[in-house]
Amino acid sequence: MSEAIQMSDLPEFDITDYLTDDTAIADYLTAVLEDGDAAMLAVALGDIARARGMADIAKAAGITREALYKALRAGSSPRFDTIKKVCGALGVKLVAQPIGG
């Protein structure tokens, strides 16, 4: 009989460990957008910003690091303008496609 694995023995999962290149980032954002959860978009952008360096992304987006953390935390509802600035700083763009296309 094998021993049961304790949750406390498992390493903590951090998505930022896997957001190492543009393709992984685009795949992550695509999955989040397809899920349709607007709140998750802010969290996902926050994950990507942490992976790339929050201070660098905040500077490139033209907002303070503190404001970026606040805008991209769970439960936030950032303005579209903020989302657009962060996407630009991350080097990604959101695109629309026809449904079923």
User: Structure tokens of 11?
Assistant: 């390493």
Task: Please write the tens of the pLDDT for every residue from 55-92.
Answer: 999 999 999 999 999 999 989 999 999 999 999 999 99
Asked whether the predicted pLDDT for residue 101 surpasses 70, the reply is: no
User: Structure tokens of 81?
Assistant: 């303008």
Stated pTM of the model: 0.84
Phi-psi region of 93 (alpha: psi -120 to 50; beta: other; left: phi over 0): beta
Burial of 70 (0-12, 13-18, 19+ CB in 10 A): middle
Asked whether the predicted pLDDT for residue 1 surpasses 70, the reply is: no
Of 98, 90, 99, the C-alpha closest to 41 is 90
For residue 20, what pLDDT is reported? 94
Task: Please write the tens of the pLDDT for every residue from 15-53.
Answer: 999 999 999 999 999 999 999 888 899 999 999 999 999
